[in-house]
Amino acid sequence: MISVKSKNDDLFHAANPEAVVTAKTRIALRIRTSGHSIPKGTSCSILFGTINDEWALRASGVAGEGDTLFHFSIISRVVTRFFEPPTLEALASEVFSDSICPTVLGGTAEPDGMDEDGSPSWLLALGLI
């Protein structure tokens, strides 16, 4: 089995190496460096952290079939490839009432911050701030 990883994989620093969650790809993904495709619905291990002091996530798993199986590790800042975002109305309600924001993994953080597991607030993850 071959291993395919993002060019920035070595720059990734996990916020909490034990805070791994599982998610499925919500869309098909193509790895630019190798041309490999990850089908929609592929299970991934997700870990949040940083690259050059900016939040990012690492998704890793196995894709392909038979002789074409490959292990992948990709770096992304597009969380909606893996997680369903809340509605803007729900976010606005929480932020305005409590001055805190839910994070991608269900914790809470300042609207422009991350929780203790490195999961960014939804406002930050969606690029709204």
Torsion of CA 32, 41, 71, 58, to 10 degrees: 70
- What is the value of pTM for the model shown? 0.84
Task: Return the pLDDT at 75.
Answer: 93
Task: Return the pLDDT at 49.
Answer: 92
Question: Quick one: how many helices (H) and strands (E) in the chain?
Answer: 2, 10
Question: Which tokens in the block code for residue 100?
Answer: 């805190």
- Three-state SS for 47? strand
In the chain, what is the greatest distance between 2 CA atoms, to the nearest angstrom?
A: 54
Per-residue pLDDT of the chain in tens (129 residues, 90 and over written 9): 899 988 888 999 999 999 999 999 999 999 888 889 999 999 999 999 999 988 999 999 999 888 889 999 999 999 999 999 999 888 888 887 778 899 999 999 999 999 988 999 999 999 888
Task: Return the pLDDT at 104.
Answer: 93
